[in-house]
Copies of this chain bind each other. A is one copy, B any other.
Amino acid sequence: MTAPGPPTSAADPLAGLRVVECASFVAGPSGGMALARLGADVLRVDPPGGGGDFHRWPVDDRGTSLYWASLNKGKRSLALDFRAPEGRELLLALATDPGPDAGIYLDNVAGRARLTSDELSTRRADTIHVHVEGVAGGKPGVDYTVNAAVGVPDLTGPADHHGPVNHALPAWDFLCGQYAVTAILAALHRRTRTGAGSSSTIALSDVALAAVGDLGWLAEAHRTGRSRERIGNHTYGSFGVDFPTADGRRVIVVALTGGQWTALCRATGTTEVFAALEPALGADLSDESDRYRFRETIEAILRPWFAARPYDEVADLLDESRVLWGPYRDMAEATRLALADATSVVREIDQPGIGPMAAAAGPIRTAGEARPPQSAPALGADTDAVLSERLGLSPAEIGRLHDAGLVAGPA
């Protein structure tokens, strides 16, 4: 035990930590929310009226953003015009709050309003600053543009499709948000030991390049000089693909390991078929490379088994043989099942301004507990409290800031 801290449980290991987040869209805010879910006091700063993502879809019937509420759960909210010089000064003061567990700033602000590392470290030498940007070096970029540039849409989608297929999930944003958390917590570890602050930048474009590099995809393209072919719903380098069932549902089965392949053959009664086929093909299907090379043959042999059985029977037989498989669901079914499962991370919460809302806890379950999801603040809900408690402003000063339009309370 090296430093006294506030009481914490294993489920809120970051209790007492104060983070200021001045970011919009997915990357930064998802990182801030991950910290809040672990007990940190995360203050999201937005311009009065909200940032560029305040009305983002999905929205409810009245146009209130389900997206914004979902990405800011468990945070506090300050509405501050940080693009005005006086507002920018207030942001700088908050980011460099001298408290022992404060001085942690996460942002994606571009242009003149951006707080520089120099300004931050001048005000508080051990400030931890993590800045998220689009393209490394500062050129604008978002998940969709970065994804296009890194080659993934060229690999995604039906094999006979011409043209790129964008992903629906903003994977790079989420991954970048978690890297921001990593950067903050690693810097905090170092600050605790050495007293030193730090300034880091994470670009979506670097996150994407590093990920395709970490899968060996850059190495493969570098060695062969070309991009690999698009393979539809097949799993690259092994066997995995989707099958329709007799009643119009669809499942995915995957056989990455020898054990998974044996189980799949057993469940579908194809052990002898493949044993007879192997010498004819010159293949050893216990080897994943051969399963990949002959994926279309395997698929063709397995397809009738799935097509002849309704989903429930398929599910039972696959489970019985311990096949690695899963059903396809649409979002409505995924939501219904998650809400009906008392052990899931998803709950219906009462979200101010929206009402009952399906919301997820974080995926880190500690000592068996998933901290239940909290609601998001109204925009500016904590403006006055933050100005008073953290910056020591008087009611008169706070009133003046409101009158000048530099800060705003909840609408």
* Cβ contact within 8 Å between A214 and B345: no
A195 to chain B, nearest CB (A): 4
- Chain B residue at minimal CB-CB distance from A131: B365
* A393 part of interface (Cβ distance < 8 Å): no
Render A366-406 as a binary contact track against B, CB cut-off 8 A, 1 for contact. 11101001000000000000000000000000000000000
| Structural contact, A8 and B194, CB atoms closer than 8 A | yes
Verify if A109 is at the interface (C-beta below 8 Å from B): no
Complex Cα distance A1/B370, Å? 33
Please indicate the chain B residues that have their CB under 8 angstroms from the CB of A10 in the complex.
187, 190, 196, 198-200
Question: Hey, what's the 0/1 contact readout for A208-231 against B, CB within 8 Å counting as 1?
Answer: 011111111111111111111000
Partner of A145, one of B181, B221, B252, B345: B252
The yes or no answer to A65 lying at the interface (CB within 8 A) is yes
Report how far A339 CA is from B212 CA in the complex, Å.
13
Using CB atoms, name the residue of chain B closest to A29. B214
B residues near A201, Cβ cutoff 8 Å: 365, 368
Closest residue on chain B to residue A10 by CB atoms: B198
User: Among the listed B25, B26, B187, B359, which residue makes an inter-chain contact with A219, where contact means beta carbons less than 8 Å apart?
Assistant: B359
Which chain B positions have C-beta within 8 A of A56? Answer: 237-238, 256, 288
Give the contact stretch, choosing among A75-83, A88-96, A169-177, A302-310: A169-177
| Highest count of chain B CB atoms <10 Å: which of A178, A242, A322 | A178
Which B residues touch A235, using CB under 8 A? 144
Q: Which of A1-48 contact B (CB under 8 A)?
A: 1-5, 8, 10, 13-14, 17, 25-26, 30, 33-34, 38
Known: A167-B167, A331-B155. A357 touches B38 (CB 8 A): no
Considering the complex, give the chain B residue whose CB is closest to the CB of A241.
Answer: B166
Instruction: Report the separation of the CA atoms of residues A85 and B10 in the bound assembly, to the nearest whole angstrom.
Output: 30
Once the chains bind, are A158 and B158 in contact (CB under 8 Å)? yes
Q: Are B137 and A343 in contact (CB under 8 A)?
A: yes
Contact B254 A144 (CB under 8 A): yes
Whether A156 is near chain B, meaning CB under 8 Å from some CB there, is: yes
Q: Does A113 contact B (CB under 8 A)?
A: no
Complex alpha-carbon distance, A227 and B330, angstroms: 6
> Inside 8 A of A354's CB, which chain B residues have their CB?
219
Q: For the complex, is A298 an interface residue (Cβ under 8 Å from B)? A: no
Interfacial chain B residues near A168, Cβ < 8 Å:
152, 155-156, 236
- Whether the pair B70, A339 counts as a contact (CB closer than 8 A) is no
Query: Which single residue of chain B is at the shortest CB-CB distance from A58?
Result: B220
- Judge if A185 is at the interface, Cβ distance under 8 Å: yes
Say yes or no for A71: interface residue by CB 8 A criterion. Answer: yes
CB-defined contacts of A140 to chain B, threshold 8 Å: 322, 324
Contacts of A330 in B (CB 8 A): 151, 154, 227
Nearest Cβ on chain B to A315's Cβ, whole angstroms: 12
Closest to A5 in B: B193
Q: Are B326 and A141 in contact (CB under 8 A)?
A: yes
Shortest CB–CB separation between residue A156 and chain B, in angstroms? 4
Q: How far is the CA of A292 from the CA of B207 in the complex (A)?
A: 28
B328-A153 in contact (CB<8A): yes
Q: Is A275 an interface residue (CB 8 A)?
A: no
A182 touching B3, Cβ below 8 Å? no
Partner of A359, one of B13, B213, B250: B213
Q: How far is the CA of A345 from the CA of B204 in the complex (A)?
A: 12
Interface CB pairs A-B, < 8 A, 5:
A1-B194, A55-B288, A148-B327, A156-B157, A206-B344
Instruction: For the A-B complex with A14-B190, A70-B213, A148-B252 known, give 4 more contacts whose Cβ atoms are closer than 8 Å.
Output: A10-B200, A144-B252, A151-B333, A179-B364
The 9 closest A-B pairs by CB, nearest first: A57-B237, A213-B360, A145-B326, A178-B178, A66-B216, A185-B185, A171-B171, A58-B220, A13-B190
